[in-house]
Amino acid sequence: MVGREYEQAGIIKHGAMMINAVANSRVPHLSVLLGASYGAGHYGMCGRAFDPRFLFAWPSAKSAVMGPAQLAGVLSIVARAAAEARGTAFDEEGDAAMRAAVEAQIEAESLPAFLSGRVYDDGIIDPRDTRTVLGLCLSAIASGEVEGIGSGSGGLRQSAGFGVFRM
């Protein structure tokens, strides 16, 4: 979340600490998207950018850089500022149409079937099968060699150290 009240509450600092913890952890990362997962929250919760060993989605999941309404709002603000800088009138009707089109597109492209079709995740799983799927993933990780580490490590990634902690 961005804004004065969230910044004052320290959410940025806590989010940065979480990203640092995920980035420096030496355990296998398994991610399951359950609901909406957008932006920095998605990143901090070990989204695709962290290259988890496995990333699955439930049928209820959604994922995008921003939520549909937020992205449409940002584009609207940019268009309004551009029109003001040019000294032209802002087209409110055109803006409403653009916002509706952007929201519809992002809504459609954030659904799990679309994301899986683009090989963003490792598949959509039935929520009732989550425990079984994650168990199979852990079994595959534990019995497989990880490049550069050799057998006997339990499939865990090795880390040279920790990143910079900023408070």
DSSP per-residue string spanning the chain:
--SHHHHHTTHHHHHHHHHHHHHH--SPPEEEE-SEEEHHHHHHTT-GGG--SEEEE-TT-EEESS-HHHHHHHHHHHHHHHHHHHT----HHHHHHHHHHHHHHHHHHTSHHHHHHTTSSS-B--GGGHHHHHHHHHHHHHHS--TTT-TTSTTPPP-S-------
Residue with tokens 């980035």: 23
Closest CA to 143 of 134, 152, 135: 152
Mean pLDDT value across residues 156-162: 53
Give the pLDDT confidence of 117-148 residue by residue, as tens digits.
888 889 999 999 999 999 999 999 888 765 54
Between 135 and 40, the higher pLDDT residue: 135
Give the pLDDT confidence of 81-105 residue by residue, as tens digits.
999 999 999 999 999 999 999 999 9
Average pLDDT score, the chain: 82
* Fold (CATH) for 4-67+110-143: 2-enoyl-CoA Hydratase; Chain A, domain 1 (3.90.226)
pTM above 0.75, yes or no: no
Give the pLDDT confidence of 57-83 residue by residue, as tens digits.
999 999 888 889 989 999 999 999 999
